[in-house]
Amino acid sequence: MSHNIDFEVKESLERLRRAIRERESTDITISGAWILVVIFAPILLAVSALVFISSSGNLSGVSISFSSSIGGVGVLLLSLIIGAIAAALIAVLYYKLIYRMNLHFKRSSMLRESLIDLLSSISRLKGSSVELGHIKTLHSELELKETRRSPGLHAILSIIIPFYWLYVGYFLTSQWQEHEAREKIFFKNVADEFRSLGVNLPTIYWEEMPRRSPGLYTVLTLILGGLFAIYWLWTLIKDPEHHFISHRRFEDTILDSIESFIKS
């Protein structure tokens, strides 16, 4: 087989390699230091509000000199700048979280398609048959569930609409949870079919993300306030990294196994 590899197999294998290479730019690790945004942004907004109130009092006084009015305008501008910085930090964080999810979903789709193509072309090369119907259905279901969100729009709405950030947290949690659950089933079926074709694929340990209920987390945030919001955001930053680790483990193992099979 190593001297007469079917063209389709080579093309599918190259697409698999390309999808794996792209993980360096899509499966992004976000620093936990961003959690400080949740802690300090409300403080900055509170300072901004106090400065604004102080400035308004100075500007609305009955007797006010030209120099003091200039000072009042400066304080007002300072309050606006502080508020804008706090809002921008919040928006940037939500942008990064949504953007990362979109990138991973897009790469994951490419990876799944390349695996399906490889199964199909290797089975034809060997004159064997594999069950692709169920695998293609799982892939189609994942495509439907992997909703691509607009990171810019949701980031802006999260700072101009009260409590909109709860909705952002809800769909980020639910989409990651559902994506992993369905994709784990997809990869298991793919691995079984490759083994049926003679690919020596060892059992791959999948480290799951912690199971979390977005509905429960929304309620707890409303009840407990800022402290639980900080914890929830921490999970949104760090939980996907468990998924990335398992993805990487699966990708490396299946690529090595397929390449060894083709060379044999």
The model's pLDDT over 98-156, given as tens digits with 9 standing for 90+, comes to 999 999 999 999 999 999 999 988 888 777 777 888 999 999 999 999 989 999 999 99
181 touches 206 (CB < 8 A): no
Task: Enter the DSSP assignment of 251.
Answer: H
In a domain, 78, yes or no: no
Does some domain include residue 64? no
Cα–Cα distance between 126 and 216 in angstroms, integer?
Answer: 50
Domain-located, residue 41: no
Residue 25, domain member (yes or no): yes
Taking only the tens place, the pLDDT of each residue in 15-57 is 999 999 999 999 999 988 888 877 776 676 666 667 666 655 5
Residue 240 lies in a domain: yes
Instruction: Give exposure, 25-46, as e/b (b: 16+ Cβ within 10 Å).
Output: ebbbebeeebbebbeebeebbe
In this structure, the chain runs to a length of: 264
Distance from chain centroid for Cα 40: 23
- Map residue 67 onto helix, strand or coil: helix
Residue 177: Cβ within 10 Å count: 19
Kindly calculate the radius of gyration of the chain based on its CA atoms and give it in whole angstroms. Answer: 26
Rounded-to-10 torsion of CA 151, 157, 162, 165: 0
Asked if residue 86 is part of any domain, the answer here is no
Structure tokens at 117: 């193509």
Which residue range forms the structural domain that includes residue 102?
Answer: 7-33+97-263
DSSP 27: S
Single-letter code of the amino acid located at 260: S
Measured between alpha carbons, how far is 8 from 129 in angstroms, rounded to an integer? 16
What is the value of pTM for the model shown?
A: 0.84
In a domain, 178, yes or no: yes
- What are the structure tokens assigned to 198, written together? 């003679």
Q: What is the number of domains present in the chain?
A: 1
**Is the Cβ–Cβ distance between 141 and 157 less than 8 Å?**
no
Read off the pLDDT of residues 141-179 as tens digits, 9 standing for 90 and up.
Answer: 999 999 899 999 999 998 889 889 999 999 999 999 999
Q: Is residue 88 one of the residues assigned to a domain? A: no
Q: What is the Cβ-side half-sphere exposure of residue 228, based on CA atoms within 13 angstroms?
A: 13
